[in-house]
Chain A
């Protein structure tokens, strides 16, 4: 048999195999180095349109400036930051709802133009409360089940103690003056949530194990496996 007889099918097989392997390598490469992989998991669709800009944004920028820990009340007291119960939304929205507000084009409410749409969303919150229904918020920052993360301990480090300067290997990496208020402490890992219409993980603030360990090493925090893994 002449060697050239099978060269075309062989080359085809070689090309296909190279293509498949190359595709897998590229997919693995991108998913390892991009966070989240391919943008998946970015800003999941929430059941109710909740703009953090309005609730947590500073009054100068058209927000009402509610502190993070007012709604995420457990954040300074326990492991989970917790999402508030619907009752807590009603603290304000018992008054701030379509019953008391009228969609008026002249009053565009906190820089939003679509007040009618906002009122409809508010009505959904009130409806949820009246129906005794929880709101099924979609989780944005998800940690694996075998990881134990305690918000309380991290906030204690960032918001208490004597004044000191640290450079955290997360976010922009600039030296930081500690202690900081709780709101700023949250931004270290979560980004400036108060300026986000939709909350999503920020570049450079991947909540991967490498980020945790970098920070723990930098600050001489314990790096024993059982500190975080359970």
Chain B
């Protein structure tokens, strides 16, 4: 139906990994430090386990329909009315991710690099690149990610490990931080939303089918959760729990702390390059996900005409929150909870629907 490109598993892994990693540049890690205290770095472990379970459940669904994506499967399982409702929820999720990321990335850039630039200019530039990426298609996005990921992950690793001289291992104690429930309970609930299983399920046909789905998701999640865990550990090691909780952008703050001698210090500009590349790729990807899901829901032959209106909607939505704290609150209280609906609730409901249908059919026989 819709002409999507095809790319290999290696490209799919880095594409999803970069998409998952995007969160660590935002105020998100701060809330994890608040939640887990010195043990914040343990919180992603529970989330990783849940994400793998979610990917497995999703793969069961996708394997039942090897030629379809999650959008068609939902409609087939729930019927037109309920199916389209669920699909619209998925699309709403992509749009929410997209507009909250546009806003947070733009705000973060104003804090970090361009204090006197109007936010609309930065958001417009981000969206313009997102539009271009989504217009050129998933193949171009995947190839660009494949070309840039070495610099992105290399940069992240460099920035984190350049801080070794400032690490203080006393900061990591007590080992369990704020207690068992905040670290493993709340932490798991919060970090499980880092991976977007639903996005991978929408792109499954481009990634080479359902057979490779679990493997791709496993490696993508492994990279993302490892990076997140290391970042949280480095943040607490370097700045301690208190300062990590206070700063809005922990990663940016860390990059400013780098001091490897008189000549090499304050490399946040390097950080901005990585940061904005990841942001642009993430926005392009979610915009593409929203457009393709909508086109599939509406059974349109092409997704491209939808990109411009969706981009405009995202642009306007991104300015609705009055300030950065409201945006962060929306991200924490709304998006992080809402994310569980398409990522985990929907596949479970679908499985239940298939199971029920099977039972009814067997009873009929």
Q: Are A and B genuine complex partners?
A: no
